[in-house]
Structure 1
Amino acid sequence: MSHKEIDEISGVATTGHEWDGIRELDNPMPRWWLWTFYATIVWALVYTIAYPAWPLVSSATSGMLGWSSRADLRTELTAAEAAKGDYVAAIEKASVEEILADDTLRQFAISAGSAAFKVNCVQCHGSGAAGSPGYPNLNDDEWLWGGAPEDIRTTIAHGIRFAGDEDTRISEMPAYGDILSREETGDVVKHVVALSSGGDLTGPGAEVFANNCAACHGEAGKGGAEFGAPDLTDAIWLYGSSPAEITAQVRQPRHGVMPAWQARLGETTVKELTVYVHSLGGGR
């Protein structure tokens, strides 16, 4: 039998381990701790028998109680769908204007539209709908195709320059690099810059603008929703406002494409998106 060293101060035997002159006392574990530990082992065994626990090759043990988190989720989803069914049915039957006039339906449509926006629209317009170069900001009052609720619905439903929809919005700016000389292009770019900066509007570019651009953008450059022509007098530019960027757009314009969402999402979701986008504060 090995000899156990006794600690002089406590009178307790040591384990024989020593670190930097410190010896470990061989005190027994507290009874309450041991019984708690044994109870956790028993609880773990009972749990693994009662509930799904042990992984198998392609599944897991189902447990004697037959409980399933997926079954619970299906039940909750079914209840949620049933709870919102009346609202969805009401939105399906109502026009956008009728939805906006009903506070309850409007709030439901905003919530549903917000969820649909996060899934389908943030990739281009951003999570806050502030847009990015080439993609419009939906929070301001500048709308190429009009910001009234019905205008927004039409744009969402049928898209812009989307080949798969016969009712899509169509507008294309000609490539003036093949029409205007380099000098004329430089003159009209100076005129366009002056429109938004309050500069001189009497230079040679005014005549070039009147002959080539005013038909869509208007004589004063204010644009027109009937053509999807942007207002050139504000500080909002999809493709940049520097002379070089404007020159590039005049010579070889870029034309964005927005998908038609009605065929993909259905009329009800399009209405919900319309109400949500209109609630962002822009439009009319």
Structure 2
Amino acid sequence: IMENFLKDYINMLKVERNLARNSLDSYLRDLNQYHHYLESELHLKTIYNVTLGHIRSYIRCLTDRGLSANTIKRAVSSIRTYHNFLSAEGHVKDNPAQLIDTPKVARKLPEVLTIQEIDQILNIIPENAPMARRDLAIFEMMYSCGLRVTELCDFTTKDILWDSEMISVKGKGNKQRFVPIGPIVRENLKDYLNNERSGLAEKNPNVPEVFLSRNGRKLTRMMVWILLKKWTKTADITKKVSPHTLRHSFATHLLEGGADLRSVQEMLGHRDITTTQVYTHL
């Protein structure tokens, strides 16, 4: 019965809330672990018997395992919204999660690269290196357009609006936004498309995504992370850098340059402006 309820809940998130695959996977992983604890540790056979004490017991278990406050906060949020769904759908009479407190988490400011460090990474990629045009276009675009790594990987040739000097980006929940692309990004993108991608695409002609691997397949998030790690190390950058660092740097540099918060929010695709406001504290 527990599994059926979980399937219904995940399906609701997918259909009604239009959550991205990565978000659905996170909910599923959190709630599978929660179910496992209820069944194996507390010997509960049905969700009807879950009490506030059971949920608190699970949260203590997560704390005892040494998990971070952020991880526990996400788990609590998943459990609360899951029980809200069960209650709203009439599957259970009482909602034991209503009184659960969410752990307070200190807001960790994101790591940001300076403009000089961004230039170091971009300039260290040798022109004659294999896939150099692709790598340069990727990191120039991620920084100059503030893209999430998933948005970059899903980016297709149809999303480039050359005449408008814009790109169409499909963000979280398939929400579309338009972001301007400057002359340097356009130049690097054209160079890659004309001189490198055409050869890669011959191996897999039906792949619509812009950024391809050596075998002509769509680049994965992990591949982008590995490439960035490689060039960051080559550029002697000692900061802890991830693809999201480029997005953080984009937002910070825009605000430092005088851009208004609302414009940055729209370019980043943030639903809530308070998410964007974190960059004003850097």
Q: Structure 1 length as normaliser, TM-score?
A: 0.18
Larger relative helix fraction: 2
Q: Structure 2 length as normaliser, TM-score?
A: 0.18
Higher RCO structure, 1 or 2 (CA under 8 Å, sep 6+): 1
Larger Rg: 1
